[in-house]
Amino acid sequence: MAVDVQGQRHDRKALILYGSETGNSQDVAEELGRMAERLHFITRVSEMDLVEINTLPDYTVVIFAVSTTGQGEFPENARKFWKSLLRKRLPPDCLSHVAFTTFGLGDSSYPQFNFAARKLHKRLEQLGAKEVYPRGEADEQHDQGIDGTFLSWSVDIRKHLLSLYPLPDGVTPIPQEVLLPPKLVLELQEDIPGPTQVSTGSQIHQANQIHHPAAEPATPDTFKQTGNHNKMERTPSQSIYDFPLPLEEEPVVCNQLREKFDGEPHDDPDSNFPPFKAIDIPNQFQVVLLENKRMTPRNHWQDVRQLTFGVSNEEAYDPGDVINIMPKNFSEDVQTLIDLMGWKDVADIPVSFVASPPDFYHADNLLSMAPGLFPVPRGTLRDLLIHNLDITAIPKRYFFELISHNTDDPVHKERLLEFTNPALSDEFYDYTSRPRRGILEVLQDFPSVKLPWQRATQFFPVMRCRKYSISSGGTLKLSSTPGTLKFQLLVAIVKYKTVLKKVRQGLCSRYLAAMPINTHLKVTLADGSLGFEVSKEYNPLILIGPGTGVAPCRALIWERAAASLLDTKITNNETILFYGGRNKRADYFYGDEWQFQYLCLTHVFTAFSRDQKEKIYVQDVIRREKKEVWRMIAKGAIIVVCGSSGKMPRAVREAISWVMLEEGGAEKFPKGREDVEAELKRMEKRKHYLQETW
């Protein structure tokens, strides 16, 4: 039951903390921040790891938005905070003055669904924190994704907060039609600050994002044009954040999104490959592309690539590790946006980032730079659009709310606002998610929308790294060049036509498909969800990796083979592989390798769903090979499931459960299904049932 903590606070300060791996929890946190801001809370939105737990009681209310990664773990940017909550010397009532709630983001195809949020919620209560509103949980597998739960939960918590912390007489919430001020704006600069600085008047800040407690509606006379390049001069009585629409210009013909599509992908889909420019991302290192090899026949419907990179041998990696690659937008798409918005006069002039000087609560800890934004040093607006802002992402509801303020066409404005209405969710999804319509296409559909370039970081989401499991291990790491290693990725190129006859391409896979040999780029290395230490794990392995899910399985197989050669005492290293694809001829990735005696594979079982009249999947073959599977489980095998999230991992877990019940019988599982489920949970806890899906 939620606890009413009204009376414990006489101020209005909200702290919204997020733990995010792919950015979804950050999006939720920012939306909650805007909600709190409209209720006149002085609001701070931050990564969990940037906050100390002893500051939590300083806020009226604390809301956590936390995703679950891997085998029930916290995201990377929340682990430090979580560990600080686990300190044994913490008094049991140290958070008794904290009013909180949590919202979890998870994927029900994982056994540890929303485990991080549940653990966090329970631990906060153990330390005396008071639940101000019941925890919410979102499921990626919902028909409407995260929104399936979040929309109703956010509406309800807004009402609850307004009830718990009523506004003074005469003060009302900031209405939805009033545009909240951006936290960061662009300014043309000839002499700009250093590469990681943000101008804030008299200060340079280094922490997270700020939300202001008030907003004023934009007015058409806020600024007057001065000089060239649409430079703005603020009138004395107006906010620095209120920009008018750009001056009307002669209409220009803008490029359209690429429509070349003859039913098959091309080896060189885009000749104008994005330029390389250094971006200062923490812990990144340089690699060079050695090979970009198509793994499927040219007449196959899907283009799957093996990319081989050279890297310094100082960057050692293990099976299960992932490479984070920052994609780039292609120049022609960026030019399309520049032409469409009328930004050509300012596109190639260096810009700096200007934030409002924070002059209120906890100002020293507030960051003006948008979280995750790593701009090109001395970069231009064009650089920002190529390297930092995702202009082809599927837009969120908030995007339509923002752009509705930047059109003078009443029909367009009405339509854009319809997409922000939660009651019209079906229309929103029919227009955005289902046809995979991107931001750039939306702007082409609504040509009356003209966005001020100064607010670019408010309109477009920050580009985020894409994660790819490393597919090489053991001797595959070796390079002919002294002092270097190799790593390989297996990447399915996303490129298809929708029912609208529009070409859809994945942002990063398109970038990788077009990447020329000898391209230098910078990447980061991270632990994957498997958390596998091959040198210590000599149990038998049951690997289940359909499609590109075979990538981390291959890395494990080759690493185990190398470990067996180096350590002659290893005797219990049996490995069986279940592989699934559509056609043996077209997508049996690495099938020729599995015959190598050196790899010591005990068995390879395949399921090619389209090679016979009746469709067969890996879960069907697991049931067929029940005696071999049970023999391995009985010997303490570690089960590793890799590939697409959704139906596959659930079907595989059900098949494993069936095998255990069928072969173990009443002797091993006297309570039947109940005992089998309990044993699977024990296997998950001791990391003998692992899942890496995407």
Q: Which residues are annotated as a binding site for FAD?
A: 436, 466-469, 506-509, 694
Quick one: residue 114, left, alpha or beta (phi over 0 = left, psi -120 to 50 = alpha)? left
> Can you say whether the dihedral through the CA atoms of 581, 587, 590, 596 is positive or negative?
positive
Q: Could you list the beta-strand ranges (E) of 74-211.
A: 99-106, 130-131, 136-139, 185-188, 209-211
Q: Where are the alpha helices (H) located in 98-193, listed in sequence order?
A: 115-126, 147-164
The Cα 309–Cα 485 span in angstroms is 8
- Cα–Cα separations (whole angstroms), residue 194 to 155, 281, 385: 42, 15, 19
Q: Count CB neighbours of 239 within 10 A.
A: 16
In contact, 63 and 22? CB cutoff 8 Å: no
User: Which residues are known binding-site members?
Assistant: 20-25, 67-70, 140, 436, 466-469, 506-509, 548, 609-610, 615-619, 694
User: Which residues are known binding-site members for FMN?
Assistant: 20-25, 67-70, 140
Element spanning 63, H or E: strand 61-67
The Cα 483–Cα 505 span in angstroms is 36
Q: Which residues face 223 on adjacent strands?
A: 234
Q: Could you list the beta-strand ranges (E) of 465-561.
A: 466-469, 484-492, 495-497, 503-505, 520-526, 541-544
In contact, 86 and 123? CB cutoff 8 Å: yes
Q: Which residues in 373-402 are b (16+ Cβ under 10 Å) and which e?
A: bbbbbebbbbbbbbbbbbbbbbbbbbbbbb
User: Which residues are known binding-site members for NADP(+)?
Assistant: 548, 609-610, 615-619
Backbone phi, then psi, for 117, in 5-degree steps?
A: -65, -40
Residue type at 432? T
- Cα–Cα separations (whole angstroms), residue 634 to 289, 414, 443, 546, 621: 43, 63, 58, 24, 19
